[in-house]
Amino acid sequence: MLSAAASAAEPAEPLNVTRLPDAEKLLLTSAASDKTGEPQADPDQFSRAVSEAVRVQQQSMRAQCRSAPAANISVAVRWAWEAHCRYQRY
């Protein structure tokens, strides 16, 4: 019965594979050939900016989580607070 169903099915569509250009290669060549006169971006400066943004976000979360939720709140609100304030990813 399976062989009858397979033979009755229409032929499969042809597989079309499209090769995309390497995005990183284009990015590196465009950064290297920047002739606008503007200073090139410093990778260390970017890293410091990301670290600072993460630090500010963590401080904000700690400030929001300092107070424990009230005892008479719903279970869903309590679980949301627990997930937001007590979850630690290591």
* pTM more than 0.75: no
Position 33, amino acid: S
Q: Are the C-beta atoms of 84 and 65 separated by less than 8 Å?
A: yes
CA distances from 46 to 51, 53, 58 (A): 9, 11, 18
- Of the candidates 88, 89, 68, the one whose C-alpha atom is nearest the C-alpha of residue 78 is 68
Q: How far apart are alpha carbons 71 and 75 in whole angstroms?
A: 10
Q: Are the C-beta atoms of 67 and 76 separated by less than 8 Å?
A: no
- Per-residue pLDDT for the chain (90 aa), expressed as one digit of tens each? 555 555 666 777 888 888 877 777 766 555 555 555 555 667 788 888 999 999 998 888 888 888 777 778 888 988 888 888 887 776
Domain boundaries, the chain: 43-90
